[in-house]
Amino acid sequence: MLIETENLSYKYPRGKDNALNGINVTINKGEFTAVVGHNGSGKSTLAKHFNALLLPDAGVVTVDGVETANQGQLFNIRTKIGMVFQNPDNQIVGTVVEEDVAFGPENLGIAPDEIARRVDKALATVDMEQYRKRAPHQLSGGQKQRVSIAGILAMNPECIVLDEATSMLDPKGRKELLQAMTSLNKSGTTIVNITHFMEEAAIADRVIIMKDGNILLDGTPREVFADREILLNAGLDVPPVSRFVKEIAGLGLEINDNVISEQECVEAIETLLNR
Partner 1 sequence: MLKDITIGQYYPSVSFVHNLDPRTKLLLSFVFIASVFIARPYNIGYAIIILMTGALYIISKIPVKMIFKGLKPIIPIIIFTVVINLLFLNGEIVEIRWIDGETVPLRWWIFKITYEGINYAVTIIIRISCLIAGTSLLTYTTRPMELTDAIETLLSPLKKIKVPVHEFAMMMTIALRFIPTLIDETDKIMSAQKARGACLDNGTLIQRAKALIPILIPLMISAFRRADELALAMECRCYNGGEGRTKFKQLRISARDMVAASVMILFLSLVIIVNKFNIGWFLV
CB of 150 to partner 1, least distance (A): 12
CB of 229 to partner 1, least distance (A): 37
If the CB atoms of residues 26 and 90 are measured against partner 1, the closer one turns out to be: 90
If the CB atoms of residues 34 and 101 are measured against partner 1, the closer one turns out to be: 101
CB of 105 to partner 1, least distance (A): 7
DSSP the chain: --EEEEEEEE--TT-SS-SEEEEEEEE-TT-EEEEEE-TTSSHHHHHHHHTTSS--SEEEEEETTEETT-GGGHHHHHHHEEEE-S-GGGG---SSHHHHHHHHHHHTT--HHHHHHHHHHHHHHTT-GGGTTS-GGGS-HHHHHHHHHHHHHTT--SEEEEESTTTTS-HHHHHHHHHHHHHHHHTT-EEEEEES-HHHHHTSSEEEEEETTEEEEEE-HHHHHT-HHHHHHTT----HHHHHHHHHHHTT--------SHHHHHHHHHHHHH-
If the CB atoms of residues 78 and 174 are measured against partner 1, the closer one turns out to be: 78
Interface with partner 1 by CB under 8 A: which residues? 51, 53, 75, 78-79, 82-83, 85, 87, 89-96, 98-99, 102-112, 115-116, 119, 135-137, 148, 151-152, 155
CB of 192 to partner 1, least distance (A): 14
If the CB atoms of residues 51 and 125 are measured against partner 1, the closer one turns out to be: 51
CB of 240 to partner 1, least distance (A): 31
If the CB atoms of residues 89 and 270 are measured against partner 1, the closer one turns out to be: 89
